[in-house]
């Protein structure tokens, strides 16, 4: 069962990141009407997927033994995800390209961090 939840977590996070990348690309490359239409149609993704990946992530964390078992990379990952969410929300609402890019870069770094389990990229 835990392997199924882990795979579900990976799929949900990957789909959420893909959705965020598409939405950010539409916003950053100036197609405001397509951005607004896409955002409106995928609003449910922005509400449901975070709940699912938080729930599956917590399940996986406590199934592994809790915070004491994971390394510093996990704490960095969790902190950055929690920072990227408000940065992305404010960036999209205020249509601030710098904040959207920052949020996207943080999420991409966290995705790499989750696979490598190393804080540095090298």
Q: Can you give the C-alpha Rg of the chain in angstroms?
A: 15
Please check whether residue 110 lies inside any domain of the structure: yes
> Is 122 within the bounds of a domain?
no
Best CA proximity match to 21, nearest among 105, 114, 116, 117: 105
Q: What is the pLDDT of residues 53-91, one digit of tens each?
A: 889 988 888 887 776 667 778 888 888 988 998 898 899
Q: Which domain holds residue 110?
A: 2-116
Task: Note whether residue 48 is domain-resident.
Answer: yes
Contact 102, 88 (CB under 8 A): no
In-domain check, residue 121: no
Confidence of residue 4 (pLDDT cuts 50, 70, 90): very high
The count of structural domains within the chain is: 1
For the segment 86-113, the average pLDDT, to the nearest whole number, is: 92
- Per-residue pLDDT at 31 exceeds 70: yes
């Amino acid at each position: 069962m835990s392997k199924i939840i882990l795979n579900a977590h990976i799929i949900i996070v990957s789909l959420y990141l893909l959705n965020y990348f598409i939405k950010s690309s539409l916003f950053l490359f100036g197609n405001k009407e397509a951005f607004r239409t896409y955002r409106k149609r995928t609003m449910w993704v922005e509400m449901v997927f975070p709940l699912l990946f938080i729930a599956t992530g917590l399940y996986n964390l406590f199934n592994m033994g809790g915070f004491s078992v994971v390394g510093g990379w996990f704490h960095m990952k969790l902190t950055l995800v929690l920072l990227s969410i408000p940065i992305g929300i404010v960036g999209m609402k205020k249509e601030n390209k710098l904040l959207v890019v920052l949020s996207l870069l943080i999420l991409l770094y966290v995705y790499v961090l989750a696979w490598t389990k190393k804080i540095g990229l090298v």
